[in-house]
Structure 1
Amino acid sequence: MQETAFDLTGRDLLTLLDYSPEEVAYLLEQAKQLKVDHKSGISDKRLAGKSLGMIFENASTRTRVSFEVGMTQLGGHSLFLSSRDLQIGRGEPIKDTANVLSRYVDAIMIRTNSHEVVSEFATHATVPVINALTDSYHPCQALADGLTILEHKGTFKGVKLVYIGDGNNVAHSLLALGAKTGMDVTIASPEGHEVDSEIYNKAKKAAEKTGAKLEQCQDPQLAVVGADVIYTDVWTSMGFESEQAERLSAFAAFQVNEELLKNAKPDYIFLHCLPAHRGEEVSTDIIDGIHSAVYDQAENRLHVQKSVLVATMSNS
Structure 2
Amino acid sequence: MNHFANRSLLKEIDFTPNELEYLIDFASHLKQLKQQNIPHHYLQGKNIALLFEKSSTRTRSAFTVAATDLGAHPEFLGKNDIQFGKKESTADTAKVLGSMFDGIEYRGFAQETVEQLAQFSGVPVWNGLTDQWHPTQMIADFMTLKEHFGHLKGLTLAYVGDGRNNMGNSLLVTAAMLGVNIQIGAPTALQPSATVIAMAKKAAADSGSQVLVTADPVAAVAGADAVYTDVWISMGEDISAHERIKQLLPYQINAELIAQTGKADTIIMHCLPAYHDQKTEVGQALEAEFGVTALEITDDVFNSPQSVVFQEAENRLHSIKAIMAATLGDLFIPDQWFK
**TM-score (normalised: structure 1):** 0.96
Within a 5 Å distance, the mapping from 1:237-276 to structure 2 comes to 237-264=234-261, 265-276=263-274
The residue type equivalent to 1:262 in the other structure is A
Q: Is 1:301 the equivalent of 2:316?
A: yes
Q: Hey, what's the Cα distance between the residues in 2 that align with 1:191 and 1:87?
A: 37
By how many angstroms is 1:83 displaced?
1.8
Q: How many residues were matched structurally?
A: 312
The residue that corresponds to 1:225 in the other structure is: 222
The residue that corresponds to 1:24 in the other structure is: 20
By how many angstroms is 1:89 displaced?
5.5
The gaps in structure 1 that reach 5 residues or longer are: none
The residue that corresponds to 1:117 in the other structure is: 113
- 3-state secondary structure, aligned to 1:84: coil
- 3-state secondary structure, aligned to 1:250: helix
The residue type equivalent to 1:307 in the other structure is A
Q: Hey, what's the Cα distance between the residues in 1 that align with 2:121 and 2:200?
A: 27
The residue type equivalent to 1:139 in the other structure is P
Q: Deviations over 1:232-277 (max 9, x none)?
A: 0011111224331110111021111001111221111000000001
The residue that corresponds to 2:337 in the other structure is: none
Q: Hey, what's the Cα distance between the residues in 1 that align with 2:4 and 2:260?
A: 41
The residue that corresponds to 2:49 in the other structure is: 53
| C-alpha contact 2:2 2:330 (8 A) present in aligned 1 | no
Q: Deviations over 1:74-122 (max 9, x none)?
A: 1111010012111335421111000110000011100011111111212
Q: Is 1:106 the equivalent of 2:106?
A: no
| C-alpha contact 1:190 1:250 (8 A) present in aligned 2 | yes
By how many angstroms is 1:179 displaced?
2.0
Q: Hey, what's the Cα distance between the residues in 1 that align with 2:219 and 2:200?
A: 22
Q: Is 1:140 the equivalent of 2:155?
A: no
| C-alpha contact 2:179 2:209 (8 A) present in aligned 1 | yes
Q: 1:38 pairs with 34, 37, 42, which one?
A: 34
By how many angstroms is 1:209 displaced?
1.6
Q: Hey, what's the Cα distance between the residues in 1 that align with 2:330 and 2:102?
A: 10
Q: Is 1:288 the equivalent of 2:264?
A: no
The residue type equivalent to 1:200 in the other structure is I
By how many angstroms is 1:6 displaced?
4.7
Q: Hey, what's the Cα distance between the residues in 2 that align with 1:123 and 1:72?
A: 26
| C-alpha contact 1:159 1:228 (8 A) present in aligned 2 | yes
CA RMSD of aligned residues (A): 1.3
- 3-state secondary structure, aligned to 1:290: coil
Q: Hey, what's the Cα distance between the residues in 2 that align with 1:32 and 1:91?
A: 42
- 3-state secondary structure, aligned to 1:121: helix
| C-alpha contact 1:270 1:292 (8 A) present in aligned 2 | yes
The residue that corresponds to 1:165 in the other structure is: 161
The residue type equivalent to 2:239 in the other structure is S
Taking a change above 3 Å as real, the CA distance of residues 52 and 179 of structure 1, as seen in their structure-2 partners, is same
Q: Hey, what's the Cα distance between the residues in 2 that align with 1:296 and 1:188?
A: 24
The residue that corresponds to 2:179 in the other structure is: 182
The gaps in structure 2 that reach 5 residues or longer are: 277-293, 332-339
**TM-score (normalised: structure 2):** 0.90
Q: Is 1:200 the equivalent of 2:197?
A: yes
Q: Hey, what's the Cα distance between the residues in 2 that align with 1:196 and 1:79?
A: 36
